[in-house]
Chain A
Amino acid sequence: MRSHDETMMLQTPFHSRVAKACELNQWDEWKGYTTPAAYTEVEQEYFAVRNSTGVFDLSPMTKYRITGADAELYLNKVMTRDVRKLNPDRVGYTIWCNDAGQVMDDGTLFNFGENNYRLCSYTRVMDWLQWSAMGFDVEIIDETADFGALAVQGPTSCAVLKAMGFKGIEKLKPFGISHFPFEDAEVMISRTGFTGDLGYELWVEPPKAITLWDRLFDAGSNLGIRAIGGNALEMVRIEAGFLQAGVDFVPAEETVRIGRSRSPFELGLGWLVDFDKGVFNGRQALLKEKREGSRYAFVFLDVEGNKPAEHSFILKGNKEIGTVTSAAWCPTAKSNIAFAQIESKYANSGENLTAEIYYQTELKWTRLLAKCHVIDSPVFSSPKRRQTPAPDF
């Protein structure tokens, strides 16, 4: 039986170090954990990721361990992609849908081999995982609090890890998993991230968290290492074209109003749907949608000018055809990018649209009709992301 106090705000295993580094004392809440919005200066944190190494504490990320004789079979039913093709020591980006073929969340699936998986997701999904587990020999455990995790991302991230003594880390392929001894325990390193650049995620049991943090920052001291908060990560993810549940779509089972959820096709994630693998949650509805067409499409827009098109309506001529879900000026790509959900018939590469932007300077509001057009891919994607062996900078 736990006490009253334990329902108060949670802290990650790195908290004492995070709190010390968080000189601005700007905090957010993420799934019940105290997390920093910014440590020192958002722009500098952003450029650490793009120029050297940024470290983001992603411990609050929801983590499930899925084991049992039917684990692979089961996950193949839950996920839209073919989980059988995900080899041991590999990570796969994946989505899962409800029975109506509407996206509940996206996440990463870690295959540890021998029917042993970890699923990382932004939203909590235990109810759905259990719901879908009927008839399968699987065990599902929420291990969110059992592991601390740091995302170590940026051009010098591999060099930092090498300097820490993780021998051969440069040979780890994108989406690969490797284990290293650390103190008297181990650290698991996956070459994964949310930044569109070279980067790793380090997973460790809570008692080793502080040591990991300290040794990481020692090793990176000459390689431009810097802790980054949620604000900088938001800029990075938009630049790199990553969707965020609850921002760019509403998790399907949490929608109240009809028509507010989205299918994989409507989020530009149709490539993650594999109809050839047999039955999976939402298959029937998605087949129907594929046959009959989608209502909406998710697009990247390149918006003229430098005013972020936050919360903008998207127009075709004078007609409102959609809205922006995320938008930012991208400091590396030097472009003004928006994610938008629009009527599917306008989602053609190069389609010219208009963003209705409202912005204010010194309490004077301006309405701007900015031209924009649909682009095929995110504006930032570093070749380093795919290079093996990974470069030093």
Chain B
Amino acid sequence: MNKRYDAIVIGAGHNGLTNAAYLAKSGLDVLVLEKNSYIGGATVSRELHQDWLYSNCSYVCSLLRPEITRDLELPRHGLQVVPYGGSVSFCSNGDYFGDYPDHERQYREIARHSIRDANAYERYEADVMKQTRLIRPFLLRTPPDPASLKPRDLKEMKYLMDAFADLGEEGLADTLRFWTMSIADYLNEYFETDVIKAHLAGSGIIGTALGVYSPGTAYVLLHHYMGDVDGTVGAWGFARGGMGAVSDALASSFRSFGGEIRVDSEVEQIIVKGNKAVGVALSSGEEIAANIVVSNLDPKRTFLNIMDEKDLPSDVVSKARNFKIRGSSGKLNIALDGLPTFNGIPKNSPLMQTDMHMLDSLERMERAYDDWKDGTWSADPYVDMLIPSQVDPTMAPPGKHMMTVFVQYAPPQINGRDWTDEDRDAFGKTVIDQIANYSPDFKDLILHCEVRTPREIENEVGLTEGNIFMGELTFDQLLFNRPFPGYAQYRGPISGMYMCSSGTHPGGGVMAAPGANAAREILADLKRPNLVPEAYADD
């Protein structure tokens, strides 16, 4: 071993870089190791077709904590997030439902389908906002250990209990229901129109191996609503230059504090000596020493792949094995020769620049999930699709377009066996056929298409089973149970070893909160001043 670093962070995804940036800002000598030849993990922009940039994993930005963006000066390091408005679901009968960001226009459009639903949306919006207001203050806080009597845990427990008490009796009942019920049941309490329910239900299943009727999916919806762009809660935006701009800005900020990043450096093992992490061994055989090792890999990869089970308490090994991180999504990234036409909306419609979806009933969404349970991809898939090149001039040449197509569902294995290239191509064809059902000229415009199944996402990015949240966002794996009970405060079971990935609180979605929260705990252990900002107050 040569140089000993103060800290090594494994994985140059956005959380690894956020964590490393705060450690470096504190004056520590920090090395980030990345297995790929490029940084970013799942927050990446790649030129896979000449002159086209693909946000080929994560593709839109809302949850990225504004406190961190500002504190690490990410705009100065090149990050610009441009909000886009609304979304649209195309119906099989040729109609559509457009969710406009302007409230009155949204009302008129919902009223086109149902006047009652248009009015009910106001009640729905208020009720969902109650839930986001509850959860948002916790994003930049370390979950308390409910079994601990340490003053800080008691204080945080009190903060948690106070937040729940502030909901009032009715609010508390609503919250418990919300966290445990299915998105379909939840929406059925507000709406009568199929396409409106299907449209809103999408946020409850994205990235989750559950169906719209599965308990717990209402919370997943909340996870997609609790972000904001410039204070507009629930808004989403494009990172100019693709999602890689987030990682690039974080890396630039990290380097400005003296941090070092090595790519093509896959960690094979966290080296443990005397119940303490002392460094890492790379797959090249090189060993690098450090006082602290932070894993930005998901809990399964961290404890089952790059740690020796013999170094770990048995409960951690078994909890890591049982950790729920099921693959359920795929992705197509498409270079287009021009802007496609979609049924029902003109090309200059603001809806063209929004999230597009293709399923118009809860029934079809549940059937799509049935296929997943049957061990195959959905024959009638749900997509969350955008054409960011309409807004971001850096994504494709003028007049040409880049389309990002997130697909739900794709299983981690096909009927119990591994995906083959033929499966991947057939999956891609299914999705392209689905889009073409609603866009007559779409197929003719395709210049290049990258198809990513859970296999590609796992192998290239390192997300187990291709799970985009690094572990499902169900109640059993949230707050002080994320990733597992007893280990929710970012400390591993071994001294000097920490976790900072989306597998920890508050979960995935390009928030950078896990990385920042982990940094706060590490700095506390090192008795260094905290540098991680507090959350902005939501009045």
Contact = CB atoms under 8 A, between A and B. Distances in A.
A10 interface: yes
Contact of B104 (A32, A127, A130, A258): A32
B155 interface: no
B76 interface: no
A124 B122 contact: yes
Interface in A52-106: 100
A125 to B, nearest CB: 7
A261 to B, nearest CB: 11
Contacts of B120: 127
Nearest to B348: A4
A108 B115 CA distance: 20
Contacts of A255: 126
A2 B112 contact: yes
Select the residue from B107, B123, B346 with max chain A CB neighbours within 10 A. B123
B126 A32 contact: no
Contact of B95 (A1, A124, A126, A258): A1
Nearest to A33: B104
A142 interface: yes
Interface in B109-164: 109, 111-112, 115-120, 122-123, 126, 129-130, 133
B438 to A, nearest CB: 15
A292 interface: no
B494 interface: no
Given A4-B346, A127-B120, A127-B123, A256 B129 contact: yes
B123 A7 contact: no
Contact of B119 (A8, A29, A127, A258): A127
B418 interface: no
Nearest to B131: A256
Nearest to B167: A258
B151 to A, nearest CB: 29
B86 to A, nearest CB: 11
A7 B116 contact: no
Interface string B157-196: 0000000001110110000000000000000000000000
B119 A124 contact: yes
B346 to A, nearest CB: 6
Given A29-B104, A258-B168, A4 B119 contact: no
A32 B115 CA distance: 14
The winner among B112, B116, B117, B133 for most chain A CB atoms within 10 A is B116
B116 A4 contact: no
B70 interface: no
Given A126-B115, A126-B116, A256 B122 contact: no
A7 B129 contact: no
Contact of B105 (A32, A124, A258): A32
B161 to A, nearest CB: 16
Contacts of B108: 6-7, 10, 32
B98 interface: yes
Interface string A114-131: 000000000011111010
A376 interface: no
A128 B121 CA distance: 12
B349 interface: yes
A130 B115 CA distance: 11
A7 B112 contact: yes
A253 interface: yes
A124 B125 CA distance: 14
A4 B123 contact: no
A188 B95 CA distance: 38
Contact of B98 (A7, A9, A29): A7
A169 to B, nearest CB: 34
A254 B126 contact: yes
A4 B345 contact: yes
A1 B344 CA distance: 10
B480 interface: no
A253 B115 contact: no
Contact of B123 (A31, A32, A253): A253
A16 B346 CA distance: 28
B469 interface: no
Interface string A248-275: 0000011111100000000000000000
Contacts of A128: 119
Contact of A31 (B95, B104, B115): B104
Nearest to A126: B119
B267 to A, nearest CB: 45
A130 B192 CA distance: 11
Given A7-B112, A32-B107, 6 more contacts: A1-B94, A4-B346, A10-B108, A31-B104, A124-B107, A253-B123
10 contacts: A1-B344, A4-B98, A4-B351, A7-B98, A7-B112, A100-B170, A124-B119, A142-B115, A254-B123, A258-B166
